[in-house]
Amino acid sequence: MALDNIPAAAPDRLLGLIKRRGPQTAAQLAQALAITPEAARQQLDRLDRDGMVLAAVTAGKVGRPSRQWGLTPQAQARFPDAHAELAVRLIEAVRSELGPAALDRIVSARERESRLAYTAEIEGAATLPERIARLAAIRTREGYMAEWRADGEDYLLIENHCPICAAAAACQGFCRAELEVFQEVLGPHVAVERTDHILAGARRCAYRISPAARQSEDR
């Protein structure tokens, strides 16, 4: 397939796949986009020239080393950041002018609003998977590129992007509040644990959701 035959949206789709799945080979991206590996490599070469992707060579257990393509900081900046610079400046202004207690009140107010909104949308979901699916849909709508899946007897909620990352770095109360909201809206019979955290250097934020009954058995 010639490069000209790749859909115009292919670069964004390709970048989105890497954002969601982490570093990928050209073959993996080609399969996901339903294009030929050669077309995927041509698109990656173009993005490489634009400074959007970067290749790392990884050695497999068998066969030749493979090239895994990841996003550069320039590419990361293409995803929603919820007006990062303005948010950070406002946080710093509140902290310096009104004090840490005022900032805590703002975080608590956002937490209350999220809890009410999420609870209203999740209400009526009869099972834990339904509640997690609805929560993932809400978070995706808010720009977190969320997905979920079963993992043995537990479930994973994965957020591949953080649209408030800069604000969360300036005030980590936002992350604490989100974890508490997840716990409350998913119900008292589950335990929610953050296992990956973007602010700690991870590629994504991930949460393990475990039925509380199994948690007690493990103890």
Residues carrying CATH 1.10.10.10, the chain = 3-76
Which CATH number is correct for 3-76, 2.40.30.10, 3.30.465.10, 1.10.10.10, 3.30.70.2740? 1.10.10.10
Q: DSSP letters of the chain?
A: --GGGS-TTHHHHHHHHHHHH-SB-HHHHHHHHTS-HHHHHHHHHHHHHTTSEEEEEE--SSSS-EEEEEE-HHHHTTS--SSHHHHHHHHHHHHHHT-HHHHHHHHHHHHHHHHHHHHHHHTT--SHHHHHHHHHHHHHHTT--EEEEEETTEEEEEES--TTHHHHHH-THHHHHHHHHHHHHH-TTEEEEEEE-GGGT-SSEEEEEEEHHHHHHH-
Residues carrying CATH 3.30.1380, the chain = 84-218
Q: What percent of the chain has pLDDT over 70?
A: 87
Q: Report pLDDT digits (tens) over 52-61.
A: 888 888 766 6
For the question of whether the overall pTM of this predicted structure is more than 0.85, the answer is no
Which CATH number is correct for 84-218, 3.30.1380, 1.10.10, 3.30.70, 3.40.50? 3.30.1380
Lowest mean pLDDT among 86-95, 97-106, 134-143: 86-95
Q: Report pLDDT digits (tens) over 188-209.
A: 899 999 999 999 989 899 999 9
